[in-house]
Amino acid sequence: MNDTYELHGGETHIEVHKFYPGAVVLVAAAALVFQATVPVYFPRLNILELPLLVTIYFGLSRRNPSTGLLLGMTIGWAQDALSGPTVPIGYYGIAKTVIGYLASSIGARLDTEHPAARFSLIFAFYVVHQAVLVLVRRVLLAQPEQWFNVHLTIAAAVNALLGTVLFLGLDRLRRSA
């Protein structure tokens, strides 16, 4: 199998990237461990959502909605499991499943290699991700939760900025054509 494929959508040619063996698992695991440990020592870093960024990145890169949503679901479940007994399994799973599907679907149609595009997409995906979480919390858990606030905007911007940088690093894990 080739490492890189091309999707032909009209006049555009979109590449489908493959990664070194174990790269996806290791990166996802690292993001989860970071998310679970670092904020303990640096509470301000709680604003970061590395599992989400990983989900977005591999979704945009693989450009396969089925793979993307399954990867998002898996990362979400792991995040749920690491979040303690108060978070039911599926809480982050649902949100990241949706994000994985959307990222893969959009990645299959748009060129998401440009940093500006990545920044915008990460910002939007972060908002959607939080919206799904709020929806689940309000509807299923019957807990009052504000839909949007300034903190959300700042968090979305911070994660978008971090994601844009992080994605450049993750690009190095791609197999070359």
Binding residues for another protein (CB under 8 A): 5, 7, 16, 64-66, 69-70, 73, 88-91, 93-94, 97-98, 101, 104-105, 108, 136, 140-142
CB of 72 to another protein, least distance (A): 9
CB of 136 to another protein, least distance (A): 7
Tell me which residue of 14, 73, 24 sits closest to 173, measured CA to CA. 24
Q: Which is nearer to another protein, 48 or 98 (CB)?
A: 98
Q: Which is nearer to another protein, 63 or 118 (CB)?
A: 63
CB of 5 to another protein, least distance (A): 5
Give the number of other Cβ atoms within 10 Å of residue 66's Cβ: 11
CB of 56 to another protein, least distance (A): 16
Q: Which is nearer to another protein, 57 or 91 (CB)?
A: 91
Q: Which is nearer to another protein, 97 or 164 (CB)?
A: 97
Compute the distance between CA of residue 101 and CA of residue 106 in angstroms, rounded to an integer: 9
DSSP states of 34-88: HHHHHHHH-GGGGG--HHHHHHHHHHHHH--HHHHHHHHHHHHHHHHHHT-TTSP
